[in-house]
Amino acid sequence: MDQTMEEQSTEPKRGMGKRKIIIFGAIGLAIIAGAILFYFFYLQNPSRQVLARVHDEKITVEQFNKELAKVEPPLIRDMFREEPNNLLERMIVRSLLLQEAKKQGLSAPVKTYKDAAQNPLSPDEAIIIEFIGKKFSSPPEVKREEVEGFYKAYKDQMDGKPLKEVAPAIEQYIREAKQKQALGQFLEELRKNAKVDVDQDRLKKIAAKPPEMNTEEEMKQALTSGKPVLVDFGANSCIPCRQMRPILKEIGTEYSEKAKVIVIDVYKYQKLAQEYKILMLPTLVFFDTKGKEAFRHIGPLEKEKIAAKLKEIGMGT
């Protein structure tokens, strides 16, 4: 009887112990769930992810994405996705210019509806343009000796016109070149002396993977395949090269059994580019069935002309 009473007295304690475990377990799960939600919805919020700090001003992932969405054409947008630092640097310089403009007390004029329709510039862009206009309000001097020197150097491109006739145009060209140079130097100094911190790890995380290109080994294998080969010596940072990619992909797919299409990154394989004397991008080099160079073309080339050249150097019909 005593033993039975003891057993009965321990049952409530065991039950309370189990309830405590369940309660503490639930609290622990709630804390973990809260931490996960805090991480993904607060810390991982693009508006809170800082890519760079320009003095005391933040540039967030959200701001970067909004700026990226404005970039046209889509081809350039894709290139910025792959190399986000290029767009971020533009945003940093713009931020620095805006900060300098505001230090000078400049502010955007209040726009009416009519003004907004006629001038699509944002308030920040208007301030920056006004600041640059005031900063470089005095046109640089162009000496007569500079005009005469330019004329002498490019006389063969003047269509036989005398110096007196073309001097005003030459002077204007030199003046604009000096203005661009002065602006470039100013921006370089502004960026150099600024306090800018860039989160390189976060920048790498938002970078898109660039289009895949072929290796040097794949090119060598193609040249010994017994098929005609087209090698595009280019780079992902080259706009005409990127414009050629869809065409090359179509050629490679349509004639996969009859020819080889290879795309080489000249910056990654610099020795290979030197070996084939590549000076401009893109350079399309056609090789015959024996792996010997048969033809080359600098710049983009139409699909029909590529196919015709491959057939000319040995591609079967």
The residues assigned a catalytic role are 238, 241
Beta-bridge partner residues of 263: 232
Contact call for residues 58 and 71 (beta carbons, < 8 A): no
Please state the length of the chain.
317
What is the widest separation between alpha-carbon atoms in the chain?
129
Distances (CA, A) of 287 to 200, 225, 241, 273: 42, 11, 19, 15
- Please give the order of strands across the beta sheet that includes 293-298: 260-265, 229-234, 283-287, 293-298
**Whole-number Å distance between alpha carbons of 109 and 8:** 85
